[in-house]
């Protein structure tokens, strides 16, 4: 079985911009924690240009991470959180996104929808994710 590619919706969630890229989808979820999509849009391109993989996060300089993430707020906490996430992610010692540091219900729901292709198995609570989920459920049958 190949990589699942979630269909693009009229809602333009940030996760839709990284089809098939589990690391970037989960990282976006962490970066969105306690900030807005509008704020994330200001930094996400530079962030992934500099740190396109979990390995690159582990070797990233803390101050460089902080400087790029400053517009998101909580930048010191985010930098530490991303390093811990990347380490756990690369260990492979996890079964669902919620097993990873910094990934709660929102990240796990997004992972199920955009990575695993199991939108029918989740009930999101986040408004934007719920918009995508409702659109998906009304347009695609369970397979």
**The pLDDT of residue 17 is above 80:** yes
**The pLDDT of residue 1 is above 80:** no
pTM for this entry: 0.95
Residues 21-60 have pLDDT tens digits of 999 999 999 999 999 999 999 999 999 999 999 999 999 9
pLDDT (mean) for 115-119 = 96
Domains delineated in the chain: 15-139 (1.10.340.30)
Active site residue 99: no
Cα separation, 75 vs 31, whole angstroms: 10
**For residue 120, what pLDDT is reported?**
96
Task: Count, in order, helices (H) and strands (E) of the chain.
Answer: 7, 0
pLDDT (mean) for 115-122 = 96
**The pLDDT of residue 2 is above 80:** no
Question: Quick one: angle between helices 75-91 and 62-69, nearest 10?
Answer: 120
Alpha-carbon distances, residue 57 vs 83, 99, 103 (angstroms):
6, 19, 16
8-18 residues labelled b (16+ CB within 10 A) or e (exposed): eeeeebbbbbb
Q: Tell me which of 143 and 118 has the higher pLDDT.
A: 118
**The pLDDT of residue 132 is above 60:** yes
Active-site choice (45, 63, 99, 126): 126
**For residue 3, what pLDDT is reported?**
87
């Amino acid at each position: 079985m190949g990589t699942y590619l979630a269909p693009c919706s009229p809602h333009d969630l940030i996760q839709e911009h990284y089809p098939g890229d589990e690391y970037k989808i989960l990282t976006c979820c962490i970066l969105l924690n306690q900030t807005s999509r509008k704020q994330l849009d200001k930094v996400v391109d530079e962030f992934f240009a500099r740190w396109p993989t979990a390995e690159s996060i582990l070797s990233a300089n803390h101050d460089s991470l902080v400087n790029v993430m400053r517009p998101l707020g909580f930048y010191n906490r985010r930098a530490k959180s991303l390093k811990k996430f990347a380490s756990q992610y690369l260990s492979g010692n996890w079964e669902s996104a919620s097993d990873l540091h910094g990934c709660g219900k929102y990240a796990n729901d997004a992972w199920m929808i955009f990575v695993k292709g199991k939108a029918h198995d989740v009930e999101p609570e986040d408004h934007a994710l719920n918009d995508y989920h409702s659109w998906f459920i009304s347009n695609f049958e369970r397979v």
